A and B are shown apart, each in its own frame.
Chain A
Amino acid sequence: MLVFTPFSPAFSRASRGPTGCALALGLLASLQGYGQAPVARPRPDTLVGRRHRLPEAQVRAVRPERFAVGSQRLEVDSAALAQYRNGTAADVLGARLGLYIKNYGPGQLATLSLRGTSAQHTAVLWNGLNIALPTLGQNDLALLPISGNTQLSVQLGPAAALYGSGAVGGALVLRTEPDWRPGLRGSVQGDLGSFGLRGGSLEARTATPTVAVRVAASYRQAQNDYPYLVREPAGLVRYTMQNAALRHQWSISPDVAWRVGTAGELTASVWLTDADREIQQGVSVAGSNAREIDQSRRLVLGYRQVTPHGGQWQVRGAWFEDIINYSDQGAISNSRVRTTQSQAEYTAPLGPRASLRLGVEAQHFAAVVDGYGPDAITENRAAAFGLLRYDPRPGLRLSANVRQAALPAGLAPLTPTLGAEWDLYRPAAPDSLAAADQPGLTLKTSIARTYRAPTLNERYWRPGGNPDLLAESGHGYEAGLRHRIAPAAHLVLETELTAFYQLVDNWVQWLPLGAGGTYSPRNLRQVRSQGLEASTALRGHLGRYRAAARVAYSYTQTQKTQGVAADSDPTGLQLAFVPLHRANVTTDHAWRGWLGSATYTFMSYVYTDASASGFLPAVGLLSATLGRTVPLPGRTSLTLLLQSTNLLNRIYDSYPARPAPPRAYSVSLRFAYN
């Protein structure tokens, strides 16, 4: 599948010869890459091929990532993702990528902080559409089950030109990709774990030459009745966590892709999630029995068509409904938002070395929220964007993107992005190496402006909502080096070092500046974030043994740099809940049917207030997975997975007064048909 692309010379890193040759090389490289299938290898952004259906040319969608030249991107590969099949994005992003997640407890609210920014500063996209809750402008990662997606990646740094509002610290990109391999595949899994964890999932895929279908579903519940210790005047007292159960969490996601002729593809994806949670309060808060129902229904229809001249156009329409119903001791707060979105874009080749994408999108929100009063609130937003990728020569890749959004309160800041990657040297290497494994030293840099549209809560909440609020604006720079060597056959060592600097201006803060001293959001602050990200990954295989290891370190200094007198948070101090140092080690091993994997994440202390006085101490957490797959007759297999989190049994709070669970185990049994 996906063998033909009209933009191959421009996008192929292996394009060293004439166009046709490059195409072939890229294809070959991809094939080799697939054969090796090392863990944690980023998908090459060249052509991808599989052995099965080579003769059939079909159009591969041109991803926005192609226009993100010079930006740092992290991807969780499918093998790792498979271990978290019954988990959520919160489980994966913390353990596998070492990102900082502000987590109120297992299954409780979990938000991502990329490069020191806040939860609202990460755009979350599913199949190309922003799925952030319009009311809150953020996503609870604990409500994004992994089973609904086949790909998960994070782009760091400002990226509004590509991903729209909210891509200030970065973007979380979720996708479901059609699997065109013919025949039926499927698996069913059951999970059992500590503190009342029960779960199950199933996945089935099938494809004919023209239709590919995937259905995935997962279920999870957990009592979360784990023990924790409290210091009391008489000494340490052991308690059991109350009112923290995940009563149920469902995710169902059917996807269909239909090839219309040789030039078109129609896709329909649905993602239904439903969670019923007890809301864990701080352990010193008594008497709460808070509970929250979160339901999201997402539907996206897309059509993609290749023109005879090698261009590609795509239209998408989406309908989302997000429900949050919260109650505590009879106090009720309900909200329902319906979002319709549409996108149209055209991607054109500009000669053999460049491509240009032009697009428009529109969003309509209709919100019925208790906090806004009895009437429904509607809001429209629109944006236009242009993305240009130009590779003047094989060792130099450039991109220039721009987006202009129109918001109800006026135009958002224009958000251009420039990016460059320059191969400083690229030694001769065996052609058998995948493009992404080609040794060399690459200099990469990008500069971007970005924005975040005010959320519906910020505009309409009563009291205090401020309809005149401006979009937050930001800009950032990053520069770095990527070095790759292949010291031995079947061994690749990749090292990346990135320095970044970014400012967020008009940062929204709720202050008692409204009528009668009510809290009201204002564009008041400037926040600066700067730091370093270093990682090195080794992957290779020897016979049937495959191994990968990655060590990453981040230094993130984030401070408020400007404010007003009414904003009492001091300047020049590290923001609360931004660890200065983070480190992450992951290692994966596979041999015959065995699988072993471990992750270690270290977080330095985080302040818990803006005065930088209270803090949560540093913590290092280890988790591990051991698995064994036994092939069974009739193309079936059985996999047993044993997993443990907090293996070192660290006692720590994931958030102030929210003790994290002690060492916990789970066991999963998966039956697969291939």
Chain B
Amino acid sequence: MKKSLFTLLAGAAALASCSNPEDEFGPLVPRAPGVYVLSEGQFGQGGGIVSAYGISSKTLLTDAFGSVNKSAALGDVVQDMGVVSNRGYICVNASNKVEVVSVPDFKSVATIRNIRQPRYFASTSATRGYVTSWRGPYTNYAPGKVMVLDLTNNTVIDSITVGRCPEQLTVVNNTIYVPNSYDNTVSVIDASTNKVTSTVTVAAGPQNVVADQANNLWVLCSQPYGTTSTPPAALARFAPGSTAAQLTLPFASSGPKQLRISPDKTQLYYSYGGAEYRMATTATALPTTPFMRRNFNGFAIDPRDNSIYGAVSTGFTTNGYFLHYPAAGGKAIDSVTVKVGPNGFAFY
């Protein structure tokens, strides 16, 4: 009896300690392989989080940063996360900072503050990172910056002025391509000098740039943020080193977004008209039938097994969820609820 009482008390104590947010030994990030799921959170409420999902254990740690780091809040509007070796770099847009965590355990390493309106992260090496940064208020934007980070000591060492509202940049052979989404240009930066070497004119509102197997660049141009009248959206292809579009594929209406490329760089993916489309990099016309009839707010392909992750955001006040599909698409393997506004993934 006494022993059972003791067990009960010990159990209760253990339970209590588990639920105590101040306890340093909070729940842990599920064992790898896993995927980090970014949730923007409600603007102004500081509820942006990153969830960690163990792919084999099928367990979710909803707020990885808070759980591991003494209930600290990650910040407001979690926009993007890049992983370089064993570090994660999280762009927290409204908090004007980049949080650096160790991967996979998500322990806080550093906070790089005063990066205004950070959007996307890319790196050229394990020691050099680049973050696009918007300038100016909503609809009155000024030319943005690409902030250059020294990843050994997590400091800003340089900044490069580009066009307005620079979005999802990409790195190809020590050259950085920055789509300026409030303009009609892509800035090309030489990573060895951190200077803009050329500016390529594209259709209005370039959002993403990806490079395919042949090192062609694909630029998705869509509606500039906050604008109501939309110029025609287009997907354009550029040959390596060329500043003139080789191929321009216009969309019938506005709103394509989230241009992605498969790990083998042969298939393009984008979201358009409430569905996800797939297109071979060799194609010369836009696909007419969707790959998946789902409106994803975030889309990623796991480079380890080519399985597909799609984030579904259900408005600014409700929890969203993500779906995990086999590489060929089809029926979802998993559907997991996460916090408000899931918009992206990173793998560990």
Contact = CB atoms under 8 A, between A and B. Distances in A.
Interface string B2-27: 00000000000000000000000000
A609 B72 contact: no
The majority secondary structure among interface residues of chain A is: loop
Contacts of B76: 282, 284-285, 657
Contacts of B75: 284
Interface string B43-75: 111111000000000000000000001111101
Given A284-B76, A284-B95, A568-B315, A608 B136 contact: no
A610 B318 contact: yes
B140 A657 contact: no
A79 interface: no
Among A283, A609, A614: residue with most chain B CB under 10 A? A609
A525 to B, nearest CB: 13
B95 A285 contact: yes
B230 interface: yes
Given A283-B46, A462-B228, A611-B318, 12 more contacts: A233-B70, A233-B72, A284-B73, A284-B75, A285-B43, A285-B46, A331-B137, A516-B228, A516-B230, A609-B317, A609-B319, A657-B47
A286 B45 contact: no
A328 B117 CA distance: 14
B97 interface: yes
B44 A285 contact: yes
14 contacts: A231-B72, A233-B107, A284-B94, A285-B43, A286-B95, A329-B136, A331-B137, A511-B315, A569-B317, A608-B45, A610-B318, A611-B340, A614-B339, A656-B46
Given A233-B69, A286-B94, A462-B228, A656 B318 contact: no
Contacts of A634: none
Interface in B73-130: 73, 75-76, 92, 94-97, 107-108, 113, 116-117
Interface in A626-674: 655-657
B96 A281 contact: no
Given A284-B75, A286-B94, A657-B46, A463 B137 contact: no
A231 B228 CA distance: 40
A530 B46 CA distance: 31
A656 B317 CA distance: 13
Nearest to A282: B44
Interface string A305-346: 000000000000000000000001111000000000000000
A327 to B, nearest CB: 9
A285 B319 contact: no
A624 B71 CA distance: 33
Given A233-B72, A286-B94, A569-B317, A329 B137 contact: yes
B42 interface: yes
A511 B95 CA distance: 26
A484 B301 CA distance: 71
Contact of A331 (B44, B139, B314): B139
Contacts of A614: 45, 47, 339-340
A235 interface: yes
B254 interface: yes
A326 to B, nearest CB: 11
Interface string A562-576: 000000111000001
B326 interface: no
A430 interface: no
Contacts of B314: 568
Contacts of B116: 287
Interface in A221-258: 230-235
B232 interface: no
B318 A570 contact: yes
Given A511-B315, A656-B46, A516 B137 contact: no
B228 A463 contact: yes
A618 to B, nearest CB: 16
Interface of A: 230-235, 281-287, 328-331, 462-463, 511, 516-518, 568-570, 576, 608-611, 613-614, 655-657
Given A231-B72, A282-B46, A287 B96 contact: yes
A287 to B, nearest CB: 5
Closest A-B pairs by Cβ, 8 of them: A331-B137, A233-B108, A568-B314, A284-B46, A656-B45, A286-B96, A657-B46, A233-B69
Interface string B222-240: 0100001010000000000
A296 B16 CA distance: 53
A614 B264 CA distance: 40
Interface string B133-146: 00011111000000
Interface of B: 42-48, 69-73, 75-76, 92, 94-97, 107-108, 113, 116-117, 136-140, 223, 228, 230, 253-255, 314-315, 317-319, 339-340
Given A231-B73, A285-B76, A657-B76, A611 B46 contact: no
A328 B137 contact: yes
Contact of A516 (B73, B138, B139, B255): B255
Contact of A657 (B44, B108, B317, B340): B44
B133 to A, nearest CB: 11
Contacts of B140: 330-331
A479 B70 CA distance: 49
Contacts of A285: 43-44, 46, 76, 94-95
A568 B297 CA distance: 15
A518 B227 CA distance: 11
A364 B195 CA distance: 59
Given A231-B70, A569-B318, A608-B45, A613 B339 contact: yes
Nearest to A235: B70
A282 B92 CA distance: 14
A613 B96 contact: no
A570 B315 CA distance: 11
B289 to A, nearest CB: 21
A234 B69 CA distance: 8
A657 B94 CA distance: 13
Contacts of B139: 331
A572 to B, nearest CB: 13
A231 B254 CA distance: 42
B136 A609 contact: no
Contacts of B137: 328-331
A283 to B, nearest CB: 7
Nearest to A576: B317
Nearest to B116: A287
A576 B97 CA distance: 29
B315 to A, nearest CB: 5
A439 B138 CA distance: 62
A238 B207 CA distance: 39
Contacts of A330: 136-137, 140
A291 to B, nearest CB: 12
Nearest to B117: A287
B1 to A, nearest CB: 37
B231 to A, nearest CB: 13
Contact of B254 (A331, A516, A576): A516
A609 B108 CA distance: 27
A610 B48 CA distance: 16
A576 B47 CA distance: 15
Contacts of A570: 318
Given A330-B140, A511-B315, A569-B315, A231 B45 contact: no
Contacts of B230: 516
Contacts of A233: 69-70, 72, 107-108
B42 A232 contact: no
A134 to B, nearest CB: 24
Contacts of B97: 286
A328 to B, nearest CB: 6
Given A284-B75, A569-B315, A331 B138 contact: yes
A282 to B, nearest CB: 4
B71 A609 contact: no
Contacts of B138: 331
B318 A282 contact: no
A118 to B, nearest CB: 13
B44 A281 contact: yes
